Amino acid sequence: MMLASQGHQPVEADDAHSGGLQARSQPPDLILLDVQMPAGGAPMLLKSLEGQPELAEIPIIFISGMPESKLKQWFPETPGRRCHSKPIDWKLMLQQIAELLAPR
């Protein structure tokens, strides 16, 4: 609801497998990725995306209940990637989304 209220059009996936299928059928502008989602979690989905040039550059925000320092060890931040620990700080999340969606 928060994303929709900010003008975004979120689409949900229940697991890493269906997330990969959705990304291939309708490439998103950005992915909010729960690290421990079912069916392989973030590592599986990330590997799938990186194996396809048309999807490899989609910005991603990794979300997890683990401490942000640990999360960044697993998924280092890059110009197209951010990490965000739970509970979600919506002000920070919306700032990260704006940064990643800004024209490069």
CA distance linking residue 24 with residue 89, whole number of Å: 29
Q: Which band of pLDDT confidence, cut at 50, 70 and 90, is reported for residue 2?
A: confident
CATH class assigned to 31-104: alpha beta
User: What pLDDT does 68 receive?
Assistant: 87
CA distance linking residue 73 with residue 101, whole number of Å: 24
Helix (H) or strand (E) holding 46: helix 41-50
pLDDT tens readout for residues 29-73: 999 999 988 888 888 888 888 888 888 899 999 999 999 899 899
